[in-house]
């Protein structure tokens, strides 16, 4: 079989396999002999169907199946070791006509990545120490969540929750017993229309709806006032999972949990930001087949989030096209990360690394560590994903020592992110 390769880009190749019938005949003959012993036709004993009849009745299907087997074997034995494809191989063309075979594949190859001077990479990192004021605000939110709304015979205020019936005069739709918390920012328009109104009052207003405004009639049925819960020992025990016994301990518990949240958020944001910075600093091509594989994974993730089925009339190709830039970024980071793993020292996984990671996961899921270990032992693919995740975490830990980090407070970091988001639009 003749194998030729055309360079489409520095990382994309088109592989063409060509063969004539005489090149394949030996494999065809073996396939016919195999099926001769299996095919049963009325009037013939098993294994005694004439070869001429087999070729006439089943020859096309047998040869097509054998061609597929031959192509797969040639690809795995000749193409894969030579070119080490990355991503999912794409079959571009398949032709078996006039006793001539021609198969074309598009494959991707690993790009050459030369990592630049990491000390010149500057990355913002959010640093935030939880204040006592924030703790008090969180406790206040907890008391509100654990409280209850009571019906009152009063006019609605900015501190009220209302229960209303909403009738669309534009579309004729009606939503009954809708609860609107007038304290929330998203209820600002309703607050302007309903403040000062009492149960039984009817108001009309316009609500933005896509590219038009929906004229609605709102009937105010109930005005409710919030009664916050009291910070009792029972509530403290419940909200702290038994870790706090009094108010001081509860405040310490809340502060600790909030600080853990901000620290973890800071680490997650840093990983994303440093990956973006490195992708931005390194210009190289990535294989289309690898990008396509990542785009396909986005559709699979969406399907899982939807419970296994995509919405009706969902356009997967359009969705993947919209995710192209993100997929290219993820592909580039994958190759940069692998290069860093090959470059950095002390990046190898040790048994204690896996034990530590599994112990953290077990605590998170509330299950025994040994049980989680057994689960991973039975799932080799997931174990390899775990090892890959640990290696990448080691990369990020080293990057924190090598890149230039600019520490920003919570609000300043958020402003910087918003400005960057506006520039990217």
pLDDT tens sequence across 153-178:
999 999 999 999 999 887 778 899 99
Cα–Cα distance between 55 and 61 in angstroms, integer?
9
Give the residue-averaged pLDDT of 30-40.
88
**How far is it, in rounded angstroms, from Cα 3 to Cα 205?**
71
* CATH fold group of domain 118-128+245-424: Trigger factor, domain 2 (1.10.3120)
pLDDT, mean over the chain: 92
Domain segments of the chain as ranges: 2-108, 118-128+245-424, 148-227
Taking residues 264-273, report their average pLDDT: 96
pLDDT tens track for 314-349: 999 999 999 999 999 999 999 999 999 999 987 888
- Strand 174-181 and strand 202-209: the pairing is unpaired
Q: At what angle do helices 380-402 and 369-377 cross, to 10 degrees?
A: 110
The answer to whether the CB of 211 falls within 8 A of the CB of 190 is no
Residue 211 has pLDDT above 80, yes or no: no
Question: What residues pair up with 12 in beta bridges, in sequence order?
Answer: 108
Cα separation of 65 and 169, whole Å? 64
Place of tokens 């939807």: 306
Provide DSSP, 162-213: EEEEEEETTT--EEEEEEEETTSGGGHHHHHHHTT--TT-EEEEEEEETTEE
**What is the structure's pLDDT at 170?**
76
Q: Model-level pTM?
A: 0.79
Bridge-based pairing of strands 148-152 and 100-108 is unpaired
Model confidence at 425: pLDDT above 80: no
The Cα–Cα gap between 247 and 261 comes to 21
CB contact set of 158 (below 8 Å; sequence gap of 6+): 182, 183, 191, 195
Please compute the mean of the pLDDT values over residues 222-231 and round it to a whole number: 96
Q: Which residues pair with 167 in a beta bridge?
A: 174, 217
Among 24-33, 152-161, 163-172, 182-191, which stretch is predicted with the lowest mean pLDDT?
A: 163-172
Q: How far apart are the first and last CA of the chain?
A: 51
What one-character DSSP code corresponds to residue 308?
S
**Could you tell me where the DSSP H helices lie in 282-350?**
288-305, 316-322, 324-343
> What does CATH list as the number for 148-227?
3.10.50.40
Please name the CATH architecture into which domain 2-108 falls: 2-Layer Sandwich (3.30)
Asked if the model's pLDDT at residue 118 lies above 70, the reply is yes
Average pLDDT over residues 85-99: 92
Sign of CA dihedral 254, 257, 260, 261: negative
At 210, the pLDDT band (50, 70, 90 cuts) reads low
């Amino acid at each position: 079989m003749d194998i030729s390769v055309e360079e489409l880009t520095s990382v994309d190749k088109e592989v063409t396999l060509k063969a004539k019938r005489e090149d394949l005949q030996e494999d065809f003959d073996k396939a016919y002999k195999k099926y001769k012993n299996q095919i049963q036709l009325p009037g013939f004993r098993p294994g005694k169907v004439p070869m001429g009849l087999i070729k006439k009745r089943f020859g096309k299907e047998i040869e097509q199946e054998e061609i597929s087997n031959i192509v797969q074997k040639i690809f795995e034995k000749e193409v894969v070791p030579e070119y080490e494809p990355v991503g999912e191989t794409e079959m571009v063309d398949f032709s078996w006509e006039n006793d001539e075979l021609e198969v074309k594949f598009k494959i991707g190859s690993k790009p050459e990545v030369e990592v630049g001077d990491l000390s010149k990479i500057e990355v913002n990192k959010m640093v935030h120490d939880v204040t006592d004021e924030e703790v008090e605000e969180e406790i206040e939110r907890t008391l509100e969540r654990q409280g209850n709304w009571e019906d009152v015979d009063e006019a609605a205020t900015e501190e009220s929750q209302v229960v209303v019936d909403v009738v669309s005069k534009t579309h004729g739709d009606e939503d009954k017993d809708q609860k609107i918390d007038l304290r929330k920012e998203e209820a600002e328009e309703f607050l302007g229309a309903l403040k000062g109104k009492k149960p039984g009052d009817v108001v009309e207003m316009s609500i933005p709806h896509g590219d038009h405004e929906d004229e609605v009639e709102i009937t105010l049925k109930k005005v409710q006032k919030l009664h916050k819960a009291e910070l009792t020992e029972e509530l403290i025990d419940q909200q702290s999972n038994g870790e706090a016994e009094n108010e001081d301990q509860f405040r310490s518990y809340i502060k600790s949990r909030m600080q853990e949240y901000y620290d973890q958020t800071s680490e997650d944001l840093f990983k994303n930001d440093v990956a973006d910075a490195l992708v931005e600093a390194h210009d190289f091509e990535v294989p289309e087949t690898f990008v396509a594989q990542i785009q396909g994974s986005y559709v699979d993730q969406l399907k899982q989030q939807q419970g296994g089925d995509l919405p009706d009339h969902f356009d997967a190709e359009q969705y993947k096209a919209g995710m192209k830039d993100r997929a290219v970024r993820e592909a580039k980071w994958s190759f940069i990360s692998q290069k860093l793993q090959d470059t950095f020292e002390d990046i190898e996984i040790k048994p204690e690394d896996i034990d530590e990671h599994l112990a953290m996961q077990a605590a998170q899921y509330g299950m025994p560590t040994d049980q989680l270990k057994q689960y991973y032992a039975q799932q080799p693919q997931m174990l390899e994903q775990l090892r890959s995740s640990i290696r990448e975490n080691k990369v990020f830990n080293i990057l924190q020592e090598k890149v230039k980090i600019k520490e920003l407070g919570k609000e300043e970091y958020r402003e910087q992110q918003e400005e960057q988001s506006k520039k990217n639009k």
